[in-house]
Chains A and B, each alone.
Chain A
Amino acid sequence: MSHSAVEIRGVHFAYPDGRKALRGVELRIEHGQRVALLGPNGAGKTTLALHCNGIYTADAGSIHISALAVADANLPEIRRRVGLVFQDPDDQLFMPTVREDVAFGPANLGLRGNELDARVIEALDAVGAVDVAGRAPHHLSGGERRRVALATVLAMHPDLLVLDEPTSGLDPAGRRELVDVLRGLPITQLVISHDLPFTLELCERAIIMNDGMVVADGSTRDLLADEPLLHANRLELPFGFDPTVVRRDNRPTSPR
């Protein structure tokens, strides 16, 4: 396999109101990498995420997921390959019960009966949420909701996970559980986040976007240690946090 997991070339996009959100994004992610996507509000991070599975269509440029172009003809397979986890789990969980919600994706792929049930249990097991299968989404805690939202896309056996602000609204324990789940998944991940310690723990590589373009790309530790770079892009480390002295065994490892 010589192709990349994600290959984004010269993507431009403007919203219908004329606001330019992406101005020539270039990005390549290799299989098995976990990459953090950082940047201030309005940098175009979520817009880029919604391009990865064809919810938005680029005005110019191209996106390939494992060598398959994101184009109308390929959308069903693209949406199988790219698992998008939305920022608000309440947007993602729309069925009456957790079980039905997790089954929604694989059922759209044509799975039925026992095969479908097995897929649902497998996905819920991967996030440690089998016991809430029969519950209604609005009766779950924030952390459970977040993990179930992740299960709804894992059930489609994606090749790439795109997570939009996965730690927003989580308490420290919920955040810890999420890190453990994500680190255990052997799937390429693109993680949009403002939570810099979280990205340092999870991702070996980071990309900074600003004003619709990629402005920096390197090891997460190096980028987070570059104070002028962070400052120029409205990013800020928590008070007292020094990425250069984080224990070595806490450093994220690349699966491949």
Chain B
Amino acid sequence: MGAGHAHALYVHEHSPVHRLAPQVKLAAAFGFVLAVAVTPREAMWAFAVDAAALAVVVRLARLPVAFVLARLAVVLPFIAFAFLIPFVSSGERVDVLGVSVSQLGLWGAWNVLAKATLGATVSILLAATTEIPSILRGMAQLRVPETFTAIAAFMIRYLELIAGDLRRMRTAMTARGYDPRWLWQARPIATSAGALFIRSYERGERVHAAMLSRGYTGTMPPLDRRAATTREWLVAAAVPAVAVSTAIAAFLALA
């Protein structure tokens, strides 16, 4: 079971970015991603500007650069896929290092590479500077329907327990000589998934009884809400503002 103080993506610091109200960080991250997504891919300099803006945030948040880069590994599968595009795409061909590739495909690959990396970096920054309960409160403040925040909260709360259950079941199997290496040995895994489902379902019933016992009537009580100040909104808005103006400038430059 997890013994750490917080989740693996969080970096404990007391920076101005950590202190910002979670709802402004969520809104800023969302705005930034949208602006990056619509930025025309041909304006390569625009993505450099966006990346520079994020580098400033990393600095302000006092996050170790190595930590951010290591977490970025999560986009590698997408990038590997992106590298296939130039080879399989149709259209005008160009020679790169003596290999004939599609020009449109090259742009497609660049598009995925740049936007996925920037988007993932924003998510990493958000997670590194905001604890999960705060993110949930921020979602509630942004009027995300309570059903969604409640489901997210329960999922996060019980994911670790269910993972623990799964680990113990695997250990029990290994202890009795089960060492799966090939696909046709997967049957016990499938069976244990079923057992895990039943266990989780029964836990759900017990949690519900515990909630009823403490007066739950179908709606979660509103807890711990803090409105963000105008100053916080303005400060956080700086990041998506950079991305939006860059996108607009890129459109104008290409027009």
Identify the A interface with B (CB < 8 A).
Answer: 50, 53, 55, 76, 79-80, 82-84, 86, 88, 90-92, 94-97, 99-100, 103-105, 107-109, 135-139, 152-153, 156
Contacts and interface: CB of A to CB of B under 8 A. Distances in A.
A81 to B, nearest CB: 11
B9 to A, nearest CB: 14
Contacts of A86: 206, 209-210, 213
Interface of B: 1-6, 132-133, 136, 153-154, 156-158, 160-161, 203, 206-207, 209-217, 221-224
B210 A91 contact: yes
Contacts of B209: 50, 55, 86, 91
Given A79-B215, A108-B214, A137-B157, 5 more contacts: A80-B215, A92-B210, A94-B157, A94-B207, A109-B215
Contact of B157 (A88, A96, A153): A96
B210 A76 contact: no
A107 B206 CA distance: 21
A91 B213 CA distance: 12
B221 A108 contact: yes
B120 to A, nearest CB: 24
Contacts of A139: 2-6
B221 A138 contact: no
A110 B161 CA distance: 31
Interface centre among B4, B157, B203, B207 (most CB of A within 10 A): B157
Contacts of A108: 214-217, 221
Given A76-B215, A96-B132, A153-B214, A135 B5 contact: yes
Q: DSSP majority for the B interface? A: helix
A138 B215 contact: no
A31 B214 CA distance: 22
12 contacts: A80-B215, A84-B210, A88-B206, A91-B207, A91-B210, A94-B207, A95-B223, A104-B216, A107-B221, A136-B6, A153-B214, A156-B214
Contacts of B223: 95, 100, 103-104, 107
B215 A156 contact: yes
Given A86-B206, A156-B215, A138 B133 contact: no
A19 B3 CA distance: 41
Contact of B154 (A76, A94, A104, A136): A94
Contacts, number: 89
Interface centre among A86, A105, A136, A153 (most CB of B within 10 A): A136
A127 to B, nearest CB: 16
A91 B224 contact: no
B215 to A, nearest CB: 3
A94 B224 contact: no
A101 to B, nearest CB: 9
Contact of B214 (A88, A135, A152): A152
Contacts of A83: 213
Contact of A96 (B5, B153, B215): B153
A135 B3 CA distance: 11
Contacts of A84: 210, 213
Given A138-B160, A139-B5, A53 B213 contact: yes
A100 B137 CA distance: 11
A139 B157 CA distance: 11
Nearest to B156: A96
Contacts of A88: 206
Interface centre among B157, B206, B212, B214 (most CB of A within 10 A): B214
B21 to A, nearest CB: 17
A55 B207 contact: no
A98 to B, nearest CB: 10
B2 A95 contact: no
B216 A91 contact: no
B219 to A, nearest CB: 9
A136 B134 CA distance: 12
A166 to B, nearest CB: 15
A233 B49 CA distance: 76
A103 B158 CA distance: 19
B242 to A, nearest CB: 32
A108 B239 CA distance: 39
Contacts of B153: 95-96
A107 B133 CA distance: 18
B214 A100 contact: no
Contacts of A156: 214-215
Nearest to A155: B214
Contacts of A55: 209, 212-213
Interface centre among B153, B156, B213 (most CB of A within 10 A): B213
Contacts of A100: 133, 223-224
A116 to B, nearest CB: 8
